[in-house]
Amino acid sequence: CSSDLVLLKLYTTGSYYEEGAQVLGIKQMLYDASTGVWSATVDGDLNKIYYTYVIKTAKGTQETQDIYSKAVGVNSKRSEVVDLAQTNPEGWENDGHILVDKPNDAIIWEIHVRDFSSSDTSGVSKEHRGKFLAFTERGTVIPFTNFPTCVDYLKQLGITHIQINPAFDFGSVNEITGVDYNWGYDPVNYNVPEGSYATDPYHGEVRIREFKEMVKSLHKEGIGVIMDVVYNHVYSAVDSPFEKTVPGYYFRMQDGKFLNSSGCGNVTASDKTMFRKFMIDSLRYWTEEYHIDGFRFDLMACHDIETMNLIREELDKIDTRLLIYGEPWTANDGENGISGEDCSNKSNAKKLSTRIGMFNDDMRHGIKGGSDDDSKGFIQGSTHSAYNVIAGMMGASSVTFGNWANEPSQCITYASAHDNLSLWDKILKSNWCTDYDTTDKLYVTQNKLAAVLILASLGIPFWMAGEEFARTKYGDHNSYKSPDSINSINWTRSIRYKELVDYYRGLIKIRKSFSPLRDNTTKAVNDGYIVYNGQSISLTMKNDTEGEWKMISVIINNSEQPCTPQIKSQYELPKGWYVVANGEEASDEAICKFDPEKPMPPRTALIIVDAESYDAIHDTDYFKDSEDGADH
């Protein structure tokens, strides 16, 4: 026992400056040495009563909210007793998880709650802009147009999951004024939704209900919700309930100082029993109480392998299809406080469950070059990037080309996330262009090549919201506290770059039509054949699934010269192919016959499918009698 005295303090409000604020009572808590639990019993209906603990430790006497808070008042200072059953929106009992049979069926769109709707281009009602409730609106359009926004837009796009940037209670935004902006990677109360995203930050039950409304609304459209969880550090260690309750326990320390592998001033100790238990309990809570469908772990390498595997086991008890993946790095390996062999990074991927995924930064780098500099990657014509791209297309699971992953289920395939330049800004920077609204074909084309590499590769496709309409942050590579004018989604770009949106949508359809692209095992890797001839990459895959195209070839010419595609397979190649994606468009319907003699234009991708099985499935023979079918 690290405390000498623990008092329970009850309040009418979540802060001292609210109307009617008063202390309702103070009660001494009793320590049970056999369990290590402090407890007190208070009679009566305590629903919506606020409380804190006053704890005397070696660090002095401090007042703190509850580590295990499920509700808090404004700006996180006091915990609240809430009858959770009363926070359930109508029909909540019929809301179920959106789960995919295998992780590779997921197509993930990363969005910040506020960015989604903070701009008036979202068409969302003023009182819901930037809030959880924006996700409950329907029929939203870009003002004065028929172009859908927000959830209506997502339904048309075809993604399966959204990943929301931190939406638990964080410290950097004042919930009263709500004017500051932050991504929210500064947790205060892990088990409580963030107050600035609620229509009322004062009454803790409101944000709980509105968060659930958001989840329910997305689930209704078949869209799953993945939470970005930042258990690796807290906003301020000394001010956190963890440190005030048991000083020095919940964080990794050295010589009395907080270690800093998170780069944010402290790192939590997942390897210690009670923080490990806290993480597991918290994840179970979000899954069961809020119907969350998956978790993305920030700086996952700060956490030890044993903890991550235990988390997988515990969530498997709820449903094995819940998604788990994370960033396989720390911000500062030298201050992680656990052995390199124990941390959940890429080189240890094989010690982790095959259903714990990791962002493939090698592929990201291969696709576009360095995250913030003007270097070029494969899409901008670099040849030396080809091998990172090839390994990534194989889901980082190919013995021949590189396999840090056990299986493609461990590989998150991506070119952009909230960190660093947006893909569009990176493409522009590497081409020395500063006109963020340009529709120059060269840049749109390079973006399209990235889309093909993300969606027509093995692994789990992921991208930052708006990548599909050339989202710009005007060159801001670290917009974590930049204003809405930088961060907001400008929905009008979905009109300006409609061709690009349509291209992503078509690729999503192709991905959903061809099972091997979504294979979570190495079968697809072993069945695939990839060739690079110095100019173009082609990945050819066969398919045994009944009722689907029997073969596909994904070909990318990243050079400035036309080239004749090389298509190889260890299996018999089809007699004829149909093109379903070319440099202009992508679709699950045949665009034209494929002519193997016709050179591919510079900087284009082609996706072709076996014509015979296509005709059998679609009951067509579009190009059979057409002399000029190839030019259709």
How many CA atoms lie less than 13 Å away from 138 in the CB half-sphere? 5
- The C-alpha atoms of residue 418 and residue 438 are separated, in whole angstroms, by 22
Sole residue written with tokens 């009660």: 27
Exposure string for 308-335, b = 16+ CB within 10 A, e = fewer: bebbbeebeeeeebbbbbbbbbbbbeeb
Interface stretch with Ca ion, choices 101-109, 194-202, 278-286, 610-618 (CB under 5 A): 194-202
- Out of 228, 298, 304, 342, pick the active-site residue: 298
**Burial grade of 504 (CB within 10 A; 0-12, 13-18, 19 or more):** buried
Neighbours of 114 (CB within 10 A): 27
Q: Please say which residue, 169 or 468, places its beta carbon nearer to Ca ion.
A: 169
Interface stretch with Ca ion, choices 34-42, 191-199, 508-516, 557-565 (CB under 5 A): 191-199
Contact call for residues 51 and 10 (beta carbons, < 8 A): yes
Q: Please say which residue, 72 or 305, places its beta carbon nearer to Ca ion.
A: 72
Contact positions with Ca ion (CB under 5 A) in 62-91: none
Interface stretch with Ca ion, choices 11-19, 166-174, 583-591, 622-630 (CB under 5 A): 166-174
Integer angstrom CA distances of residue 180 from 224, 424, 471, 627: 29, 26, 22, 63
DSSP 579-595: EEE-SS-B-SS--EE--
Interface stretch with Ca ion, choices 66-74, 167-175, 354-362, 439-447 (CB under 5 A): 167-175
- The C-alpha atoms of residue 387 and residue 402 are separated, in whole angstroms, by 9
Q: Please say which residue, 286 or 463, places its beta carbon nearer to Ca ion.
A: 286
Residue 169 in contact with Ca ion, rule: CB under 5 A: yes
Please tell me the count of residues contacting Ca ion according to CB under 5 A. 2
Shortest distance, position 485 Cβ to Ca ion, whole Å: 22
Shortest distance, position 173 Cβ to Ca ion, whole Å: 6
Rounded to the nearest angstrom, the gap between the alpha carbon of residue 278 and the centroid of all alpha carbons in its chain is 22
Interface stretch with Ca ion, choices 187-195, 455-463, 518-526, 554-562 (CB under 5 A): 187-195
Q: Please say which residue, 169 or 210, places its beta carbon nearer to Ca ion.
A: 169
Contact call for residues 602 and 575 (beta carbons, < 8 A): no
The phi and psi torsions of 522 (rounded to 5 degrees) equal -85, 5
Shortest distance, position 194 Cβ to Ca ion, whole Å: 5
Integer angstrom CA distances of residue 125 from 134, 135, 141, 562: 8, 11, 11, 49
Q: Please say which residue, 195 or 294, places its beta carbon nearer to Ca ion.
A: 195
- The C-alpha atoms of residue 375 and residue 382 are separated, in whole angstroms, by 9
Q: Please say which residue, 186 or 467, places its beta carbon nearer to Ca ion.
A: 186
Q: Which helix (H) or strand (E) holds 616?
A: helix 611-618
Shortest distance, position 201 Cβ to Ca ion, whole Å: 8
- Out of 95, 327, 335, 342, pick the active-site residue: 327
Nearest residue to Ca ion, by Cβ distance, number only: 169
Beta bridge partners of 516: none
Shortest distance, position 168 Cβ to Ca ion, whole Å: 9
**Burial grade of 12 (CB within 10 A; 0-12, 13-18, 19 or more):** middle
Asked if 298 is an active-site residue, the reply is yes
Interface stretch with Ca ion, choices 168-176, 262-270, 449-457, 590-598 (CB under 5 A): 168-176
Shortest distance, position 76 Cβ to Ca ion, whole Å: 5
Shortest distance, position 190 Cβ to Ca ion, whole Å: 12
Residue 129 corresponds to which tokens in the numbers above? 């802009």
Q: Please say which residue, 87 or 345, places its beta carbon nearer to Ca ion.
A: 87
Asked if 327 is an active-site residue, the reply is yes
Interface stretch with Ca ion, choices 161-169, 226-234, 340-348, 437-445 (CB under 5 A): 161-169
Of the candidates 331, 67, 386, 91, the one whose C-alpha atom is nearest the C-alpha of residue 219 is 91
Shortest distance, position 172 Cβ to Ca ion, whole Å: 8
- The C-alpha atoms of residue 185 and residue 205 are separated, in whole angstroms, by 23
- The C-alpha atoms of residue 435 and residue 560 are separated, in whole angstroms, by 23
Shortest distance, position 186 Cβ to Ca ion, whole Å: 9
Q: Please say which residue, 197 or 297, places its beta carbon nearer to Ca ion.
A: 197
Contact call for residues 297 and 268 (beta carbons, < 8 A): no
Rounded to the nearest angstrom, the gap between the alpha carbon of residue 193 and the centroid of all alpha carbons in its chain is 17
Q: Please say which residue, 61 or 199, places its beta carbon nearer to Ca ion.
A: 199
Total residue length of the chain: 632
- The C-alpha atoms of residue 126 and residue 30 are separated, in whole angstroms, by 49
Which residue numbers are catalytic? 298, 327
Give me the residues that bind Ca ion (CB under 5 A), please: 169, 195
